[in-house]
Amino acid sequence: QEHPVYGLRARGSDGEVEPYDSVPEMAKHYISEIRSRFPNGPYVIIGICTGGLVAYEIAQQLTDQNQAVTLVVLNSWHPTSYSSYRYSYDLPPLLSAPLEFLSITMSALGELRRMPLKYWMQILRYNSNLLLSRLRRPPGSESEDRQFNHMRLAMFRAAACYTMRPYPGSILNFVASARIMEHDTRRVWSELANGGCRTVEIPARRTTDLVASPHVEGISSHILRLIAERHPYTPIRSDDRAA
């Protein structure tokens, strides 16, 4: 038996409908999509960055529905890390770009002020690359950028307002450990998982690095081993790859 892998498309990504502003509502919607194709588990739910919070709530609701769930989160923060976005809303196009540059610059200066000198080069490199990525946006992408930022702010507001409850199961947590932050909440999952939490440190700087070579192969191997532990009677092919 093979393990099919499916991705869930975020509501609002097409610009035709508004994105959800509630993590539980997102989870409820995605569960209806999952169970319309696979009515019963076991399920392996994986979420990356803010998607880790949605995956966490999906796992909670599926567990409440007496379904077997394996939960995996990649570089995901606690809702308190998004508290500054609780009342954030879209800005007019003429203001959004300058304020985004100002926000990145002020954030970098704040990190430099608080963090030890040995981390300064990493902070400067990360934020310089972030600013350059904004400058290199292709012409004509303004509409797509506005839609992306609209979705991003809606997700961050939802994350800021999300109240986490203890999870009865176990969690496999991946952290991009090369990124150093002062208020780092990526390891608090161990305090929430009543069934235990296994944290794997990956020497990557960015969240996107986790789903690209050379790191994605190691992460997929960890996940496949976890599936084998949780469901030992389900064979895993030697040529399985992350999707």
Instruction: List, in order, residues 6 or more apart from 129 with CB less than 8 Å away.
Output: none
DSSP 3-state of 14: coil
The domain of 224 spans 1-10+18-243
Give the pLDDT score at 13. Answer: 75
Residues 218/202, Cβ–Cβ less than 8 Å: yes
Give dist(CA 200, CA 133) in Å, integer.
Answer: 28
Give dist(CA 4, CA 2) in Å, integer.
Answer: 6
Give dist(CA 223, CA 225) in Å, integer.
Answer: 5
Instruction: List, in order, residues 6 or more apart from 126 with CB less than 8 Å away.
Output: 179, 205, 206
Give the pLDDT score at 241. Answer: 38
Helices 120-135 and 93-114: crossing angle in degrees, nearest 10, is 170
Query: Along the chain (243 residues), what's the average pLDDT of each consecutive run of 10 residues?
Result: 75 80 94 92 92 96 95 93 74 55 67 71 73 62 67 88 95 90 87 95 89 92 89 52 36
Give the count of domains, the chain: 1
**What is the pTM (predicted TM-score) of this model?**
0.76
Give the pLDDT score at 234. Answer: 54
CATH number of the domain encompassing residue 213:
3.40.50.1820
